[in-house]
Amino acid sequence: MDINTFLAQFISGLSTAMLLFLISSGLTLIFGVVNVLNFAHGSFYLLGTYFAYQIMQLFDNFWIGLLAGAVGAGIVGMIIEVLFLRRIYGRAQEGAFQLLMTFAFILILDDMVKFIWGTEYKTISKPASLVGSFNLGTVMVPVYNVFIIVVGFLVVIFAWYFLTKTDTGKTVRASSLDRIMLGLLGTNVPMIMTVVFGVATAMGGLAGVLAAPLRTVTPGAGVEVIIDSMIVVVIGGFGNFWGALLGAIIIGEVLSFGILWVPELATVLTFIVMIVVLIVKPEGLLAKKAVGRK
């Protein structure tokens, strides 16, 4: 394989990976800290897109739409956490309740989108500054794809700084290890849960808006991204933020080079990777074996 082909596939794989990461990072954050497997995470991706679409009808500005999409999805996320999810924490069979409740929200939010905005496809355009492509040697690279890669890495850097260097970040990490002890030390744990849920769903919304200029804005789009995001989280390790990054990069690049070499297997490649990881390291690549969560 010549260097140009390698570069083209690598960059396209990275662009796929970063969108996957932006969606699955919120999913894994919610699992890691709030201990909820949020099947409805894709619905926040969808909500973010539609909030952005609505705001852009008024202001015709991508950046305001991006902000509105992320904030709107985050606010709806917090409302759902406070009014619904909080009521099932700590219950016997909490897992089953989580599954039922978050699945119900997939249906509710999807239908809500359909009732408000209709079933026809909507369009969100790229900002003018990010239209077009440039040449990297003989490889053509779209500016918008590079923008997504940059945003992905910025989120990684910000998350690393926040979780490891700030007191609030350390409190968030502590809450993922032992909520009861943290509560006994005087921390408002329910508030942390709500805020983390809000931030994570806002990241889902952000991913939705970033993806919109490249994809189709339509009801049902949220459901379509959740399976790949789940696979990323399984590969990286449930609840592990860095695992989501690693999982997304592995899936993005395996898919990209797999499509080049064995296109017939494209639809099963992600599942093959997941099966291999589950056999070799069932808890996920970056997860610790014993998780002392309470």
Q: Where do contacts with other proteins occur on this chain (CB under 8 A)?
A: 5, 8-9, 12-13, 15-16, 19, 110-111, 114, 118-123, 125, 131-133, 140, 142-145, 211, 213-221, 223-225, 255-256, 259-260, 263-264, 266-267
Q: What are phi and psi of 136, to 5 degrees?
A: -110, 95
Q: Which is nearer to other proteins, 57 or 166 (CB)?
A: 57
The DSSP secondary structure of 54-91, one letter per residue, reads: HHHHHH--HHHHHHHHHHHHHHHHHHHHHHTGGGGTT-
The least distance separating other proteins from the CB of residue 132, rounded to whole angstroms, comes to: 7
CA gap 245, 20 in Å, rounded: 9
Task: Kindly state the smallest distance separating residue 219's Cβ from other proteins, in Å.
Answer: 6
> CB-wise, 186 or 263, nearer to other proteins?
263
Judged by beta carbon, residue 138 or residue 188, the one nearer other proteins is 138
Minimum distance of other proteins from residue 239's CB (angstroms): 24
As given in the structure block, the two tokens for residue 205 are 């919304």
CB closer to other proteins out of 111 and 180: 111
AA identity, residue 149: I
| CB closer to other proteins, 76 vs 217 | 217
Q: Would you give the end-to-end CA distance of the chain in angstroms?
A: 50
**Nearer residue to other proteins within complex by CB, 253 or 283:** 253
Pick the closer one to other proteins by CB: 91 or 114. 114
> Smallest distance from the beta carbon of 133 to other proteins, in angstroms?
5
The count of other CB atoms within 10 Å of the CB of residue 111 is: 11
**Closest distance of CB 235 from other proteins, Å:** 17
> What length does the chain have?
294
Helical segments of the chain, H only = 3-29, 41-59, 62-83, 94-117, 143-165, 167-177, 179-184, 189-211, 221-236, 241-261, 266-280
DSSP-based three-state secondary structure for 93: coil
In whole angstroms, the minimum distance from the beta carbon of 127 to other proteins comes to 14
Kindly list the distances between the CA atom of residue 97 and the CA atoms of 41, 102, 261, in Å, as whole numbers in the listed order.
Answer: 16, 8, 43
| CB 156 to other proteins: min, Å | 19
Bridging pattern class, strands 139-142 and 133-136? antiparallel
